[in-house]
Amino acid sequence: MSNENVLLSIKDLHASVEEKNILKGLNLDIKPGEVHAIMGPNGAGKSTTGYVLSGRDGYEVDSGSATLDGQDLFDMDVEERARAGLFLAFQYPVEIPGVSNLEFLKVSVDSQREARGEEALTSAEFLKLAKEACKQVNLPVSFLKRGVNEGFSGGEKKRNEIMQMILLKPKLCILDETDSGLDIDAMQVVANGVNSQRDSERSFIVVTHYQRLLDYIKPDFVHVLADGKIVKSGDASLAKELEAQGYAWLQTEPTEDEIED
Amino acid sequence: MTEQIDKALAREYEAGFVSAVESETFEPGLDEDVIRRISEVKGEPEWMLEWRLKAFRVWQEMEEPDWAHLSYPKIDLQSVSYYSAPKSMKDKPKSLDEVDPELLRTYEKLGIPLVEQQMLAGIAVDAVFDSVSVVTTFREKLEEAGVIFCPISEAVHKYPDLIKKYIGSVVPTKDNYFAALNCAVFTDGSFVYIPKGTRCPMELSTYFRINEQNTGQFERTLIIADEGSHVSYLEGCTAPQRDENQLHAAVVELVALDNAEIKYSTVQNWYPGDEDGKGGIYNFVTKRGICHTNAKISWTQVETGSAVTWKYPSCVLKGDNSIGEFYSVALTRGRQQADTGTKMIHIGKNTKSTIISKGISAGKSNNSYRGLVRMNPGAEGARNFTQCDSLLIGDQCGAHTFPYVESRNPSAIVEHEATTSKVSDDQMFLCRQRGVDPEKAVSMIVNGFCKEVFKELPMEFAVEAGKLLEISLEGSVG
């Protein structure tokens, strides 16, 4: 079934939202340590991919499979997938008023540690880690005391997502248009945070609309997602090509589905 | 989503056990004779009996109120027993060693060890079991500071002057139907007196437990903080899980003399009934405090229990510059109904009041906030701030707000803010995507919503309140 060298394996995935087919035969293999960028026009199914993999309510898998480390993702609850090492950085992080960031982070980390049979960190140990993570994404330590995303600017919310990623140490990170709404400075901070977490084990899916994020997070592979499937794959140079020419040229070549239709 | 939340909220009522304690219980029924018998059992002086009988006659002329946003079958007060006491209490135990071990075990099971060595330092407890006070801890230590903390039945004998002067002075006999009933049949409760200029050296608390079947609990608490004194008082309540409804009609009176401060906190966890609304406590409580010059009274309540709650802890801000505060969390689920809030009566100049109310509704429950802010003509420069937030969980529950504002002084300022929100799918998904159980996620979100109120609770109670909402982290970090 799954290749031992593959972290994430998506096979012929079809998925729908409110009975509308969005993913129509997605295939993707990601090995440990690789960074894959997924680009594509609006409505291609980029964000849907992240939600389907993480198990959000309302995103129905119609057929196909996805495994993480050989485990069937679609057989697990949302929180089980997270504990198995899947992390989704949100495009629009939601606020949880009154719940301090520190509390939220510790409960998250404790939940994952518990699932792995590890002891909970003491408050002091955790606080130290959290402060370091703050520094890495350039957020003042005072943000730990504030409510989760409560009153944060767009950039602060995105940096907060990366901070969560740093503390949770996932195997696979899906960054869902993390660059949207960020200026160059903020994007650099976010990218540095991501880059600091790159190693030979951890893999990334960077979902983005624009090439500019990929100047800072260098991908190993770039895929173009259009109408629910990958229509073109290449290396980092493909992103440049897309930036120069847009997506329209891809759609002039009819896909197999369209020929069948 | 809703299913997960329901599961998260459908936790067991842990205090639902019954203790095997032999009791002496009156036959159900209410007439003058029953009142005379209560008074006799307590060995009360004549004046106390007269006061009860007067109240009873007043009560007979009154009608049960029906203005609250509550619906429940009419309570048959003739089917209730008005007195029940463990037999072992007949010859009053002189010390803890003489208290029935089954009683001590009951409180221990509820997490309230009454053996002083085992207690969290700094809290004195009066344990009320059905109609009597079982034990009051740390009395000697308190006496050294001149603080009186004893069952009110004992205070009637020992401190008749204080009782005569203050009982019924804040909540008059004829105040309302349930208060009048309580005046006639009250059995026990706590009495506190803090002398002038004294800061009470420890937290005082009373734990009320209803055990016997078909009994009502009618306790009465009177706290007097003399000039310049300070006291923090906590109240907790639980009852066994029973299929029939039981009545709890308490009266609490607080007197804060000049420059005194009283902080009164409640964690109310009476049995709420089952998911279909069978059983549970009917909780009809009158709580009121009076503030003299520069005095302050602060009510904090966390209400998670009872089938029906009718409760409006209030402040009469009589003295100039006095301050009243009300912080409330009311959680209803299943078929629970709560109609709760406060009254702030501004009489003195430059009086201030703050109301923070957090209502959380889940299941098929109904949760109402009802609050009155009255600025009397003499309340020059008075101010009130009210914030009233509702959180809905699921789509079959109700949240209601009934604010009443009466301002008869043009210089008074009244502010009211209200919000209604829902635990959103986005919030749940974020928590779960980070590896958090749905149950834990709900309690964390609800806890966050209540934070402003929880921070007003004394530490030990904040922990208990957090536990009630299944939160483990609150207070341990940051």
What's the 3-state SS for chain B?
CHHHHHHHHCCCCCCCCCCCCCEEECCCCCCHHHHHHHHHHCCCCHHHHHHHHHHHHHHHCCCCCCCCCCCCCCCCHHHCECCEEEHHHCCCCCCHHHCCHHHHHHHHHCCCCCCHHHCCCCEEEEEEECCEEEEECCHHHHHHCCCEEEEHHHHHHHCHHHHHHHCCCCCCCCCCHHHHHHHHHCCCCEEEEECCCCECCCEEEEEEECCCCCECECCEEEEEECCCCEEEEEEEEECCCCCCEEEECCEEEEEECCCCEEEEEEEECCCCCCCCCCCEEEEEEEEEEEECCCCEEEEEEEECCCCEEEECCEEEECCCCCEEEEEEEEEECCCCEEEEEEEEEECCCCCEEEEEEEEEECCCCEEEEEEEEEECCCCCCCEEEEEEEEEECCCCCEEEEEEEEEECCCCCEEEEEEEEEECCHHHHHHHHHCCCCHHHHHHHHHHHHHHHHHCCCCHHHHHHHHHHCCCCCCCCCC
Mutation to test the B interface, candidates A53, A107, A166, most B Cβ within 10 Å: A107
> Does residue A259 surpass a pLDDT of 70?
no
- Beta-carbon separation of B478 and A104 below 8 A: no
Tally of CB atoms within 10 A around B65: 12
Q: B231 forms bridges with which residues in the sheet?
A: B262
The model's confidence at residue B92, banded by pLDDT at 50, 70 and 90, is low
Tell me the nearest-neighbour CA distance from A11 into chain B, angstroms: 23
Lowest-confidence region among A219-223, B126-130, B387-391: B126-130
Domain ranges of chain A: 8-95+171-250
pLDDT for residue A258 is more than 50: no
Are residues B438 and A79, on separate chains, in Cβ contact within 8 Å? yes
What average pLDDT does the segment A93-98 reach? 92
Average pLDDT over residues B208-229: 84
Binned at pLDDT 50, 70 and 90, residue A251 comes out as low
Considering only A204-213, B206-215, B349-358, B387-396, which range has the smallest mean pLDDT? Answer: B206-215
Residue B449: is its pLDDT beyond 50? Answer: yes
Contact B435 A54 (CB under 8 A): no
| pLDDT, average across residues A220-249 | 88
Tell me the mean pLDDT in the region A181-202.
89
Using a CB-CB cut-off of 8 Å, the residues of chain B touching A168 are 434-435
Residue of B nearest to A92 (CA): B426
Percent of chain A with pLDDT over 70: 93
Q: What is the pLDDT of residues B263-276, one digit of tens each?
A: 998 887 777 777 77
A88 and chain B: CB distance < 8 Å anywhere? yes
pLDDT at position B471: 31
Chain B residue nearest residue A54, CA to CA: B433
**Nearest Cβ partner of A144 from B425, B450, B478?**
B478
| pLDDT mean over A60-68 | 96
Q: A244 pLDDT exceeds 90?
A: no
**B1, B431, B477 ranked by CB distance to A106: nearest:** B477
Query: Which residues 111-130 on chain A approach chain B with CB closer than 8 angstroms?
Result: 111-112, 115, 123, 126-127
Q: Across the beta sheet with A59-68, what order do the strands follow?
A: A20-30, A8-17, A59-68, A71-72
Of A56, A99, A107, the CB nearest to B429: A56
Q: Which of A101-110, B12-21, B147-156 has the lowest mean pLDDT?
A: B12-21
The ipTM, to two decimals, is 0.93
Query: Domain-by-domain residue ranges, chain B?
Result: 18-422, 423-478
Per-residue pLDDT averaged across A3-30, rounded?
92
Tell me: pLDDT of B93 over 70: no
Give the pLDDT band of residue B456 (cuts 50, 70, 90). confident
Look over chain B and give the mean of its residue pLDDT values, rounded to a whole number.
Answer: 83
Please answer yes or no on whether A96 and B476 come within 8 Å at the CB atom. Answer: no
User: Taking the model in full, what pTM does it have?
Assistant: 0.80
Query: Quick check: B438 and A54 CB within 8 A?
Result: no
Q: How far apart are CA A222 and CA A234, in angstroms?
A: 5
For A8-95+171-250, CATH number? 3.40.50.300
B125 pLDDT more than 90: no
Q: Residues of B with CB below 8 A from A106's CB?
A: 473, 477
Task: Output the pLDDT for position A252.
Answer: 52
Q: Do the beta carbons of residue B189 and residue B225 sit within 8 Å? A: no
Whether the predicted pLDDT of B53 surpasses 60: yes
pLDDT value at B23 more than 80 = no
What is the pLDDT confidence band of residue A172, given thresholds at 50, 70 and 90? Answer: very high
Q: Chain B: which residues have CB within 8 Å of chain A?
A: 1, 424-427, 429-438, 440, 444-445, 447-452, 473-474, 476-478
Test mutation, A108, A121, A123, chain B, max B CBs within 10 A: A108
Q: Taking residues B6-14, report their average pLDDT.
A: 57
Contact B192, B147 (CB under 8 A): yes
More confident residue, B74 or B290: B290
Measured between CA atoms, the residue of chain A closest to residue B474 is A103
pLDDT value, residue B16: 66
Gap from A147 CA to chain B (nearest CA, Å): 8
Query: A210-214, B117-121, B152-156, B207-211: which has the highest mean pLDDT?
Result: B152-156
Three-class SS state of A110: helix
In chain B, what residues touch A108 (CB-CB under 8 Å)? 431, 434-436
